């Protein structure tokens, strides 16, 4: 059994809020454009070709390049090789071979993650799960099916619809983000207030642990209290414990009658107050999103969209109400009861609804047109949400006067995406300042994107030493050789031996 190098049971919190050591600068995980990965031993490559087939062991630098940079362009590295297994057995064999050889693996799905956890920043091998793309064992009566790890969220939604159901997860990256990636990050998205995050959709998983052992629990029983929930544990583990190869997914009833409303407010606090009021008074509320005047202006400027209202407003909410009956009467009644809503645009027809959604969904792309942003993703308690949003641009300016702060997010979950542009990719001062500020207000440093490599330095802001110690013990038990995503989520850990890496 490996010793656990993360501190003892009674260790005090190492860095009390606001007293962290200086953040690292140029610490080697950002913009490693010059990085090259070590060449792997030809005998090892031969073994890997035997497992997945010659054409699925990719060593061409041009092809590997797209696997080595994240969606935002902030995290760049180089892969020693890209491996593309076609089923769970091949995944297990790849993990075994790499574990034996001491070669670290970075599992990768759609590569839409935003915290640098799915790209090889230290010359690791990429384990791409995208070829695992089947949906099987559809239970139309029970409302569940099995999806392999590489199926996109959009394809899960389509298959659910064809089976007479829907899927509880939706997010802007739906066309690329995969079942495996969304499980590994416990992705949230646009419907968490109604259906919960990805963990709540899981009836079971099939996965290969870092030990090489395969677990398969795809029976799909709704109630199954038979010990540790391994699927729940893998959910949010960011590829550090096991490689998810398939999942049994719970489907939800269809709600075809929909109303989307964009509401304008004179202040953030008016918008936030309304958000919680709508949550309480509209039981069929499906989504509740927030954005601000600067973000809307940027979206319109970069996409050519016309703003929703002739006059600008300080803050906006986008609310979607979805039901099996027309929700319009209750929406009208509730909106009419809130006198401080300054502007309302409502849509029921699908194309117009989609148009309203674009004001919110295009924020990610619009911000990225300004250069790779620092993307922080925090949750606040309901009572601190408005004051956080109003104060955080000033907090950023204190440490980075030339920076611009862009704020949007999932209002009903207290989840704000703090995007900062105009700061060097490797200068982590603003990241630290914002995360400390969120933690001081009782928030979390990651609402839905995870820790990855981007926030590893600040895990102790919202997790106690005892919690980090427990996580490290789990890591040591399920991935004792540290073959899966070393340096992601947990700062230290057993390192792969690397003795199969050829010199030079």
Q: In the complex, which residues of this chain contact ligand FAD (CB under 6 A)?
A: 71, 106-114, 117-118, 129, 149, 171-173, 176-178, 180-182, 184-185, 187-189, 238-239, 243-244, 364, 448-449, 485, 488
Find which of ligand MLT, ligand FAD, none residue 414 binds, CB within 5 to 8 Å per kind. none
Q: How far is the CB of 242 from ligand FAD (least distance, A)?
A: 7
| The dihedral sign for the CA sequence 456, 124, 198, 409 | positive
Find which of ligand MLT, ligand FAD, none residue 116 binds, CB within 5 to 8 Å per kind. none
- H helix intervals, 337-425: 350-361, 363-368, 385-399
Find which of ligand FAD, ligand MLT, none residue 417 binds, CB within 5 to 8 Å per kind. ligand MLT
Q: Which residue lies nearest ligand MLT, judged by its C-beta?
A: 364
Q: Which is nearer to ligand MLT, 115 or 334 (CB)?
A: 115
Find which of ligand FAD, ligand MLT, none residue 85 binds, CB within 5 to 8 Å per kind. none
Structure tokens at 93: 């064999």
By the 8 A CB rule, do 268 and 315 touch? Answer: yes
Q: Which DSSP string do the residues of 402-445 spell out, in sequence order?
A: T-EEEEEEEGGGTEEEEEEESS-TTB-HHHHHHHHHHHHTT-BS
Backbone angles phi, psi at 229, to 5 degrees: -90, 90
Residue 98-137 contact track with ligand MLT, rule CB under 6 A, x = bound: ----------------------------------------
Q: How far is the CB of 372 from ligand MLT (least distance, A)?
A: 12
**Neighbour count for residue 272 (Cβ, 10 Å):** 26
By the 8 A CB rule, do 187 and 234 touch? Answer: no
Residue in 185, 364, 446, 485 binding ligand MLT, rule: CB under 6 A: 364
Q: Is 400 helix (H, G, I), strand (E, B) or coil?
A: coil
Alpha-carbon Rg of the chain, whole angstroms? 23
Q: How far is the CB of 172 from ligand MLT (least distance, A)?
A: 5
Q: Which is nearer to ligand FAD, 368 or 405 (CB)?
A: 368
Q: Which is nearer to ligand MLT, 217 or 375 (CB)?
A: 375
Q: How far is the CB of 72 from ligand MLT (least distance, A)?
A: 8
Q: Which is nearer to ligand FAD, 156 or 335 (CB)?
A: 156
Partners of residue 127 on adjacent β-strands: 83, 107
Find which of ligand MLT, ligand FAD, none residue 187 binds, CB within 5 to 8 Å per kind. ligand FAD
Q: What are the angstrom distances between the C-alpha of 54 and each of 48, 57, 59?
A: 8, 6, 11
Q: What are the angstrom distances between the C-alpha of 108 and each of 130, 274, 448, 495?
A: 8, 39, 17, 20
**Neighbour count for residue 444 (Cβ, 10 Å):** 19
- Under the criterion CB under 6 A, does residue 417 sit at the interface with ligand MLT? yes
- Which chain residues interact with ligand MLT by CB under 6 A? 172, 363-364, 375, 377, 417
């Amino acid at each position: 059994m490996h010793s656990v190098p993360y501190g003892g049971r009674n260790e005090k919190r190492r860095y009390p809020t606001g007293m962290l050591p200086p953040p690292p600068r140029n610490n080697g995980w950002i913009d490693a454009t010059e990085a090259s990965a070590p060449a792997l031993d030809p005998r090892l490559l031969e073994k890997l070709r035997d497992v997945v087939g010659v054409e699925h062991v990719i060593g061409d630098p041009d092809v590997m390049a797209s696997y080595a940079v994240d969606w935002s362009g902030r995290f760049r590295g180089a892969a020693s090789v890209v491996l593309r297994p076609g089923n769970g057995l091949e995944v297990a064999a790849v993990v075994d071979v790499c574990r034996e050889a001491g070669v670290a693996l970075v599992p990768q799905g759609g590569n839409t993650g935003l915290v640098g956890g799915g790209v090889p920043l230290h010359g690791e091998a990429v384990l791409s799960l995208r070829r695992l793309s089947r949906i099987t064992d559809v239970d139309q009566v029970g409302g569940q099916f099995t999806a392999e790890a590489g199926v996109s969220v959009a394809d899960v939604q389509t298959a659910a619809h064809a089976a007479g159901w829907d899927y509880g997860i939706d997010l802007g990256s739906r066309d690329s983000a995969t079942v495996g990636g969304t499980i590994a990050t416990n992705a949230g998205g646009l419907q968490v207030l109604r259906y919960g995050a990805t963990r709540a959709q899981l009836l079971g998983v099939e996965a290969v642990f870092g030990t090489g052992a395969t677990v398969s629990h795809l029976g799909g029983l709704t109630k199954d209290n038979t010990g540790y929930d391994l699927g729940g544990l893998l959910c949010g583990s960011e590829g550090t414990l096991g490689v998810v190869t398939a999942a049994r997914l719970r489907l939800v009833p269809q709600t075809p009658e929909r109303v989307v409303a964009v509401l304008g407010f004179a202040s953030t606090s008016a918008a936030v107050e309304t958000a919680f009021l709508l949550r309480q008074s509209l039981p069929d509320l499906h989504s509740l999103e927030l954005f601000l005047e600067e973000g809307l202006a940027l979206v319109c400027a970069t996409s050519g969209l016309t703003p929703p209202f002739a006059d600008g407003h300080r803050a906006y909410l986008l609310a979607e109400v979805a039901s099996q009956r027309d929700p319009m009467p209750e929406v009208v009644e509730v909106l009419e009861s809130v006198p401080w809503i300054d502007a309302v645009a409502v849509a029921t027809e699908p194309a117009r609804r989609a148009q309203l959604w674009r004001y919110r969904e295009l924020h990610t792309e619009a911000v990225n047109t300004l250069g790779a942003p620092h993307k922080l993703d925090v949750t606040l308690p309901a009572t601190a949400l408005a004051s956080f949003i109003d104060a955080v641009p000033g907090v950023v300016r204190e440490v980075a006067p030339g920076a611009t702060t862009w704020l949007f997010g999932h209002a009903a979950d207290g989840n704000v995406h703090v995007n900062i542009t105009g700061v060097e990719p490797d200068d982590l001062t603003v990241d630290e300042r914002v995360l400390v500020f969120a933690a001081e207000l009782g928030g979390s440093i990651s609402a839905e994107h995870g820790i990855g490599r981007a926030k590893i330095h600040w895990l102790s802001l919202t997790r106690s030493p005892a919690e980090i110690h427990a996580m490290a013990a789990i890591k040591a038990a399920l991935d004792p050789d540290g073959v899966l995503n070393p340096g992601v989520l947990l700062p230290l850990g057993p390192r792969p031996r690397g003795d199969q890496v050829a010199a030079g």
